[in-house]
Amino acid sequence: MAGLPDTQNFGFSRRQMLVGGALAMFVPALLSGCATAADPNTIGAPREGAAKAGGTLRIARPPASASETLDPASSLCAYEYLGALYSRLVSLSPTGELVPDLAESWDQSADAMTWTFNLRSDVGWHDGSSFTANDVVYTIQHILDEATASPQAGVLSPFVDGNAITAPTMHTVVFQLTSPNAEFASLLAGYNCYIIPAGSAGTITTSGIGTGPFKLASFSPAGPGAVVRNEAYFGQAPVLDAIEFSSIADTQGRVNALLADQVDFIAQTNLDFATASTVLASSLATVSSVKNAQWYPVPMLNSSAEFSEPDIRRALCHAYDPELVAKLATQGNSTIAHNNPVPPSEAYYLDYGLEYDPDKSKSLLKGQGLSSLDLSIYTSTYDPLLTPTALALQGSMKDANINLTVENASADSYYTDVWMKKPLMTTYWYTGRPIDQLLNQIFRSGSSYNETAYSNPVFDQTLDAARATVDQAQRKTLYQDAQKILIDDGGSLTPFFADRLTGLSSKVTNYSENGFEFDYINIGFGES
């Protein structure tokens, strides 16, 4: 069923992982210029302007799991609460810059091995106690603790040693890294890195005590909950009085709730174009769009018999018409990727890809002694674009003598039974992770989220070299070399980057998305 919760069966929740690296490369919400939408004046243009003070925002969200927790480090955290309840050391501005949050300032040593963060001294926890450096040390250690099984542990552990984090003063934290990393601070902006009180690992799961703009009023896993304004918040005071959360598993149910004016905003629901049209047709609701917010790869499992041969992978990459697929699946609310998983907005982006060429595709197949190819492509209602993408590919690849059979898998077990198991399936990621994280985490040999089971020593060496390179221009060349290898070797079939369409009430004003998160401070209700 659409949007049913992920479950803990899936060791590292897919959902959390998708946004695990929402970092500096994040593309800010593009509030205008979505040219191809049915009504460009409506889609992607949420209200802006003065919000009246106060009000209660009602958010519908898909429940992550029956065992959701408020521990930010956990793979099962109820993430919509996090930004309201907690603060991080640093966070990302809408323009993608690293800005202070709990840390007033930070420094790195020349070798990028030692990082020092100076913390605010005026911050209190929701329970009244004061925030200190010990809380930070504890939080990072908690993330690194194997028992926590935090998705962020895999990101930090290669160069962070929990025992090498110290608090020389009440408001200073020093990280002694085990290997140099010039972008360490930005990794602390991940939402798993929200700071929790020292010693709270056992209680944070339901207490939700943080330093954020809102305090927890109630919470039940996969159920309703609420937060109210934290009057003692150290930053800019939020507009809203309170936020109420409710869990709705069915995507259509969430949309109905919005249309029936039961909720003001549906979180984590990327509307397909048709649904967005329905929402737009209502006087009560509107749709906001974030440019290229999600990328939709169709991983070909290299370890499978079907795709062990690079030419076959290339044949598939050449076999479909990306224009057509993008149009069908997203009605044009997308950017063609040309099978390069790196988004064009990325600084190190290489403008190179495998173009639509069915004849080339056929000749590649012929080279393998094949005149046609029959494959199953798996899809699910997990995300509304997965099935249209699969169906569009199915239609488009026919001309290249590649016959796809679409198999619908249950949304709930999709990321346990299909992802990284079936040779060909549709999936998606949130864009916005740094290129280093993207390429290392998803394509490096043996990495935990290597969904294509891609393994190429030359590619891996190129990535290592890039990391070790201090010179920016040189680093860029190396990352672009890696992209070229990846594209040519046919690791990933990537038709397009899609805009994310979010439904919200037309009463809501100043809605802005920050990757996977939205701005809790400025959002409010319009003056009528």
Partner 1 sequence: MRAAWSIFTVLLSTVLVFTAIQSLPGDTASRILGQNATPEAVATVRLQLGLDEPALSRFLSWLGGAAHGDFGTSLVSGRSVGEEVGGALVNTLLLASITIAIGVTIALVLGMVSGLMRDKKPDVIISTLALIGMSIPEFVVATLLVLVFSIYIPLFPAVVLAGQEATIAELLPSVWLPAAALICVLSAYVIRMMRTSVIDVAESEYVRTAVLKGNSTARIVFKHVLPSAMPPTLNVIAMNIAWLIGGVVVVESIFNYPGIGTLMIRSVQTQDLPTILLITVLSAFTFVICNLLADLGAFMLNPRLRYPRSAV
Partner 2 sequence: MTVAEASVQTRSRAFPRLVRSIARSPTACVGFGLIFLHVLLALAAPLLSPYDPIANDAMATLSNPTGAHPLGTDALGRDILSRTLYGGQYALVVSLVATTLAVLLGSIIAGIAAFKGGIVDDVITRVLDSVLAVPAILALLVVITIFGSGPQIIILAVVIVFTGGVTRIVRAAVMDVLPNDYITAARARGEGMFSILVREVFPNVLDIILVEFAMRASWVMLLISSLSFLGFGANPPTPDWGLMVAENRNLLSIAPWATLAPIVALATLIVGLNLAADGLSKSLGVDRMKDVLG
- Contact residues toward partner 1 (CB under 8 A) are 1, 4-5, 7-12, 58, 60, 65-67, 220-224, 246-250, 252-254, 256-257, 259-263, 282, 410, 412-413, 416-417, 420, 448
Query: HSE of 492 in the Cβ direction (CA atoms, 13 Å)?
Result: 31
468 binds, among partner 1, partner 2, none (CB under 5 to 8 A by kind): none
d(CA 163, CA 161): 5
152 binds, among partner 1, partner 2, none (CB under 5 to 8 A by kind): none
d(CA 156, CA 137): 14
Under 8 Å between Cβ of 247 and 58: no
Q: For residue 484, with 0-12 CB atoms within 10 Å meaning exposed, 13-18 middle and 19 or more buried, which class applies?
A: middle
Residue 38 or 222: the one with the smaller Cβ distance to partner 1 is 222
Least distance CB 75 / partner 2 (angstroms): 24
d(CA 47, CA 261): 17
275 binds, among partner 2, partner 1, none (CB under 5 to 8 A by kind): partner 2
Within 8 A by CB and 6+ apart from 398, the residues are none
Least distance CB 175 / partner 2 (angstroms): 47
Least distance CB 40 / partner 2 (angstroms): 17
Least distance CB 384 / partner 2 (angstroms): 9
The pairing of strands 56-61 and 265-266 is parallel
Least distance CB 271 / partner 2 (angstroms): 9
CA nearest to 168, candidates 210, 112, 113, 114:
114
CA angle 266, 269, 272 (to 5 degrees): 120
462: enclosing H helix or E strand: helix 457-468
69 binds, among partner 1, partner 2, none (CB under 5 to 8 A by kind): none
Residue 134 or 282: the one with the smaller Cβ distance to partner 2 is 282
Least distance CB 374 / partner 1 (angstroms): 24
CA 321 to the chain's CA centroid:
27
Residue 251 or 394: the one with the smaller Cβ distance to partner 1 is 251
11 binds, among partner 1, partner 2, none (CB under 5 to 8 A by kind): partner 1
Least distance CB 412 / partner 1 (angstroms): 4
d(CA 106, CA 255): 43
Residues found near partner 2 in the complex (CB under 8 A): 1-2, 252, 255, 272-275, 277-278, 281, 324, 327-328, 331, 379, 381, 387-388, 390-392, 394-395, 406-408, 410-411
DSSP state of 164: G
385 binds, among partner 1, partner 2, none (CB under 5 to 8 A by kind): none
427: enclosing H helix or E strand: none
